[in-house]
Amino acid sequence: MEKSRSDNLTPKQRSLCMSRIRSSGTKVELKYKDRFSGQEYQPEGLFGKPDFVDWKNKTVIFIDGCFWHKCPIHWNEPKSNKKYWIPKLERNAVRDKEVKLAYQNSGWKVVRMWEHELKN
């Protein structure tokens, strides 16, 4: 297979790499699972799939990946397949705002943390 000019992997290699990216149970989430003890970790069926829920204090916590949620510090525009990635990442950012509003309108507190804030 031929490599893309802006990618150092073949399409097959890139596909394999992308298929291994986890949407839940990430290293950062698991590392801080103890820090958020007393809060439920990834409860099923909640809108927006919060990473942690504090039912007593009506708080949802999201740990956002810098690439997937367009971190203002670390996000870099993809170099390949922009027609796919840019709209997808824009939808993620819009959905994040919708989820935040939905919880706030229901009387919940929303905490969003960037993965880079928790890596150290």
- Tens-digit pLDDT string for the chain (120 aa): 444 455 676 877 766 666 656 556 666 666 666 666 666 676 788 999 998 899 999 999 998 888 888 888 888 888 878 898 899 999 999 999 999 999 999 999 999 998 888 766
Domain-embedded: residue 27: yes
CATH number for the domain that contains residue 110: 3.40.960.10
Domain-embedded: residue 15: no
Domain-embedded: residue 31: yes
Domain-embedded: residue 4: no
pLDDT at position 29 is: 62
Domain-embedded: residue 1: no
Domain-embedded: residue 8: no
Domain-embedded: residue 64: yes
Domain range for 31 is 23-118
- Could you give the number of structural domains in the chain? 1
Give the SS3 label for residue 21. coil
Residue with token string 């394999």: 16
Q: Which among 88, 16, 95 is positioned nearest to 62, based on CA atoms?
A: 95
Domain-embedded: residue 18: no
Residues shown for the chain: 120
